[in-house]
Each structure stands twice: as structure tokens, then as C-alpha cells.
């Protein structure tokens, strides 16, 4: 076995990210976040003149203090420490380090966030704004109105799918035509590969199932459901968020709404229909019921607001 000081941080990080992606099945976005957090840790170690293989719990605590002084929020700090905990646990198991500096420290708890969702009237406003095509120009950058209309309708289908299924944006963009189970002209469910490469079947409401089934007619089974052109790739998550932002502004909704907030909206509608948490957990693909429980807090806050002026 090589001596510890012969093992570089850079190579170890690459091996760790490969482990996350190919062994654990983490999404590209998750791996990107881990890589970013490890880069921040590496820069701090260099400035502090510390060795990544020989640092201790006190050094990690100094790192946390540094982040706080830099104005990094509690949730982001907790994420970075969680990243380091996973990294060093893996590194010790694979003989990259002799000691795990994270193991003994008290992990900062992530503050519980109340999820943001759309009220029913806001959902209706979004649908109305999306289906109002008056703002689509006749021509822009050489693209015809018909092509721009096709783009709008693709996003309309995407945003409605998330609100009817609770998919993560990465899951929705990764769907292929073959993932929709169509029976007698109705898409009954969709097959989703979620976090950790775990598969689940998500049922769809019949009315939306008919719309989705029509959208896949004549398309190749290996094509992406939201491909920008036949045989092409879907839009990026960044492009999706930007397009949704424009529609939210057009709808006059005074909230910061992302595709993930549409997922929250789906979960909130289920909770309002008294769907059991364990069933919501299965539909959303949460590994832990604790993650799903944030929606009970959302419900309690909603009730508090309703009775505030009584």
C-alpha cells in the first residue's frame, strides 16, 4: 500500500466522485455539489496550511467558523459538513486516510425549511398564463412562431407533469417515451429512475394521462419525452428554471417558484386530500419518511394562517 502522503487530494476526490456516480448512482447535480464543497474545503486547507490527511476535529470546527464569518448560511454549512463526513468515511474505508476528522465533531443541524408551494388559484393562474399564446412573437432570432409555440407547449406539458406526479426536474428530463405506460390511449403511469438509481412507478390522473399519451404518439421509444427535436436531448434544468420564471412573472405570482416548488405543490395537494405520509413518501421517492414530514409542518403553518385573524 502507498504511504498516505503519496495519495493526492485531487486523485482521491476524483475516485470519490466516481464512487458516488457509478456505485451509489447519485445524480450529476449531486456529484457537482459534492465537488464544489470539496473544492471549498481544499482551498481553506491550503490557506490554513493544513494537510487534508492529517487534520482533526478542531480544524473542522475552525472551518465551520470561517464559513459562518464569510456569511455562509446554516443550511449550506450543514451541507458542506455532511459532504465532508461522507468523503472522509469513504476515504478511511479505502485506506486514503488513517483518521476521520468529522466522526467526532457535533454535526451542525440543517434548519428545517417550510416548503414553498402554489395555492390552487396560483396553479390556475400559471396554467392560464402558459396557455395564453398572445405573447409568442411571429419571429425571433430566425425562429418561427410555430417553433416557439412548440417550445411553449413542451414546457406546458413538463410543468403539468411535475404538478401531477411530483417528479424531480432531473427525473422528468430523464424520461424517455418508453417510460410512459400507455393503455387504451391513456398514460396510466410513468417509470422513474430516482436518487440512488432506484426505480418507482408513479400513477397519473386519467385526464392528464390522456394528454400525455397524445404527446407521445408517433415518437420513438428511445426518444426523450421532452426532447427539443426528434432524437435530440431535452433542455437543461437551468433552461427549464429560466422559462418557468418568465411564466410565473407572466401569471402575476409573487413567489420564487422553481420546478422543485411544483413538486412541493404536488405533495401539498396530496396532503390536503388526506393521503397518508407513507404513500406520499413512495410517490415522491423519498428514502426516509423524515424528509416527507416537512409537508406536515407546511400544513400546520397553513392552518395557523387561516385562523390568525379569527
- For 38-68, the pLDDT digits (tens) are 999 999 999 999 999 999 999 999 999 999 8
Tell me the pTM.
0.67
pLDDT bracket for residue 307 (50, 70, 90): low
**Given 66, 210, 260, 302, the catalytic residue:** 260
Is the model's pLDDT at 4 over the cut of 50?
Answer: no
| pLDDT at residue 6, rounded to an integer | 57
Given 155, 243, 266, 295, which residue is catalytic?
A: 295
Element (H, E) at 265: helix 259-272
| Residue tagged active-site, from 13, 168, 176, 264 | 168
Least confident of 71-75, 110-114, 139-143, 251-255: 110-114
195 tagged catalytic:
yes
Residue 286 is among the residues annotated as catalytic for this protein: yes
Known active-site residue 93: no
State how far the Cα of 151 lies from the Cα of 212, in Å rounded to an integer.
16
Which of 277, 308, 299 is closest to 117 using CA atoms? Answer: 299
What tens digit of pLDDT does each residue of 173-183 get? 999 999 999 99
Instruction: Tell me the CATH number of domain 4-93, given options 3.40.50, 1.10.150, 1.10.1740, 3.30.1560.
Output: 1.10.150
* Measured distance CA(152)–CA(229) in Å, rounded: 14
Residue 15: the pLDDT is 95
Sequence-ordered strand ranges (E) for the chain: 139-140, 143-144, 180-183, 186-193, 199-203
Report the alpha-carbon distance of residue 219 to residue 175 in Å, rounded.
Answer: 13
For the ranges 178-182, 207-211, 221-225, 273-277, the lowest mean pLDDT is seen at: 273-277
Catalytic residue among 96, 176, 263, 264: 263
Question: For this structure, is 191 an active site residue?
Answer: no
Higher pLDDT, 304 or 151: 151
Is 260 catalytic? The answer is: yes
Q: Closest Cα to residue 208, out of 269, 295, 257?
A: 269
Residue with cell 428511445: 222
Per-domain boundaries in the chain: 4-93, 120-307
Q: Which among 24, 188, 191, 195 is annotated as catalytic?
A: 195
> What integer best gives the mean pLDDT of the chain?
87
pLDDT(201) > 60? yes
Of the listed ranges 47-51, 71-75, 120-124, the one predicted with least confidence:
71-75
The edge-to-edge listing of strands for the beta sheet with 186-193 is: 180-183, 186-193, 199-203
The rounded distance, in Å, linking the Cα atoms of 61 and 69 is: 12
Whether domain 120-307 has CATH 3.40.50.300: the reply is: no
49 among known catalytic residues = no
Amino acid at each position: 500500500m502507498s504511504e498516505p502522503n503519496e495519495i493526492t487530494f485531487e486523485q482521491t476526490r476524483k475516485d470519490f466522485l466516481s464512487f458516488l456516480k457509478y456505485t451509489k448512482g447519485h445524480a450529476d447535480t449531486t456529484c457537482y455539489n459534492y465537488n464544489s464543497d470539496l473544492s471549498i474545503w481544499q482551498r481553506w486547507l491550503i490557506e490554513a496550511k493544513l494537510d487534508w490527511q492529517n487534520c482533526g476535529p478542531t480544524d473542522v470546527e475552525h472551518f465551520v467558523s470561517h464559513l459562518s464569518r464569510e456569511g455562509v448560511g446554516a443550511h449550506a454549512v450543514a451541507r458542506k459538513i455532511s459532504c465532508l463526513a461522507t468523503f472522509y468515511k469513504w476515504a478511511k474505508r479505502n485506506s486514503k486516510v488513517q483518521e476521520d476528522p468529522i466522526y467526532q465533531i457535533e454535526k451542525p443541524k440543517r434548519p428545517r425549511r417550510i416548503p414553498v408551494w402554489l395555492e390552487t388559484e396560483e396553479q390556475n393562474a400559471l396554467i392560464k398564463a402558459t396557455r395564453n399564446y398572445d405573447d409568442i412573437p411571429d419571429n425571433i432570432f430566425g425562429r418561427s412562431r410555430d417553433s416557439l409555440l412548440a417550445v411553449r407547449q413542451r414546457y406546458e406539458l413538463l410543468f403539468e407533469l411535475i404538478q401531477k406526479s411530483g417528479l424531480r426536474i432531473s427525473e422528468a428530463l430523464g424520461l424517455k417515451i418508453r417510460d410512459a405506460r400507455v393503455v387504451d390511449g391513456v398514460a396510466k403511469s410513468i417509470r422513474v429512475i430516482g436518487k440512488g438509481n432506484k426505480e418507482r412507478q408513479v400513477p397519473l390522473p386519467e385526464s392528464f394521462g390522456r394528454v400525455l399519451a397524445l404527446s407521445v404518439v408517433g415518437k420513438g421509444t428511445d426518444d426523450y419525452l421532452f426532447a427539443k427535436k426528434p432524437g435530440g436531448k431535452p433542455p437543461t434544468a437551468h433552461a427549464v428554471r429560466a422559462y418557468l420564471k418568465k411564466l410565473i412573472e407572466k401569471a402575476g405570482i409573487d413567489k420564487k417558484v422553481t420546478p422543485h416548488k411544483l413538486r412541493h405543490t404536488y405533495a401539498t395537494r396530496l396532503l390536503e386530500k388526506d393521503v397518508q405520509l407513507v404513500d406520499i413518501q413512495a410517490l415522491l421517492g423519498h428514502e426516509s419518511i423524515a424528509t416527507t414530514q416537512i409537508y406536515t409542518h407546511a400544513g400546520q403553518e397553513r392552518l395557523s394562517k387561516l385562523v390568525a385573524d379569527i
